[in-house]
Amino acid sequence: MPRDNRTHPMNGRVLICAGSDSGGGAGIQADIKTVTALGCFAATAITALTSQNTKGVFNVLDIPTSFLRQQMTVVLEDIGADVIKTGMLHNAEVIRTISNTLESLGDSSSLVIDPVMVAKGGHSLLQTSAIDALKNELIHKAHVLTPNIPEAEVLAGIEITSVDDMRRAGECLLDMGPKSVLIKGGHLKDDTLTDILLTQSEEKLYSSPRLKTVHTHGTGCTLASAIAAGIAQGLEVQIATERARKYVFEAIRTAPGLGAGHGPLNHAHTIGKMAK
């Protein structure tokens, strides 16, 4: 696979396979902004189009899987990727297409899977029938799996009400084959937000103060893409996760306050600092 000069200031290539968010706060738009703001090159293979804003998702338009496969193929055969990051994979056919495409190309890129199931406003973004496909076709290939608590509950079949429960669920998910699992603890109601990263050999807890704000649309997409950017730049998963969490914290803290619902983050805060 072709590889760019890694001494270029923009080093690391991330191919994002995810749905488009017309409101710009989550999905492929958040992914591109994040990867770019952290100094990587972002390419895309769009899985679906959504009509949404800060108040919710109003419609979803499928992209033909033959076109999804073509998007992935032409990018990987020409530009290449150090990391492939997945987001909204809304049905089993999409999941199988991504898995089969990677296998047929013999692609060796690291895979970061954000198992997007529900939008911030509550709209389902993953068909129930696709959950088994996600478990059987893709999760075992992941370098990093990044579920939030509701997603981890569905995938692991465990109710999560504490950090200990997060740990148990993470261990169950590790048994499915990914190299590492980051369970995000934002759905717990503690004033301190705790995430837990598990690998086969170690465990690491990350904690930060909870920011009391409604402007959190796209936090999951943003965190997973920030981790993907770090891995593409050669960081170990623990360091990539730590940097990603700091990036997301600042993006929430400086959110522009747009919209009447769950507003978007300030993905460009790193660029703003550079411009001063």
Cβ contacts of 212 within 8 Å, gap of 6 or more? none
Closest CA to 244 of 254, 263, 262, 231: 231
d(CA 209, CA 139): 30
Candidates 19, 135, 185, 221; catalytic one? 221
Q: Which two tokens stand for residue 233?
A: 């730049």
Q: Of 44, 194, 219, 241, which residue is the catalytic one?
A: 219
DSSP state of 187: T
Q: Any bridge partners for residue 13, and if so which?
A: 41
The catalytic position among 12, 19, 170, 218 is 218
Do 186 and 219 meet the contact criterion of CB atoms below 8 Å apart?
yes
Is 221 a known active-site residue? Answer: yes
- Residue 177 falls in the annotated catalytic set: no
Residues 40, 184, 185, 263: which is the catalytic one?
A: 184
Q: Is 216 an active-site residue? A: yes
Residue among 185, 220, 230, 263 flagged as catalytic: 220
Total number of residues shown for the chain: 276
CA atoms within 13 A on the CB side of 96: 10
Q: Is 186 an active-site residue? A: no
Active-site pick, 34, 54, 194, 216? 216
Kindly write down the DSSP assignment for every residue of 102-157, as one continuous string.
Answer: HHHHT---EEEE----B-TTS-B-S-GGGHHHIIIIIGGG-SEE--BHHHHHHHHT
- Of 172, 181, 156, nearest to 238 (Cα)? 181
Catalytic residue check, 219? yes
Give yes or no: 184 in active site: yes
Active site residues: 184, 216, 218-221
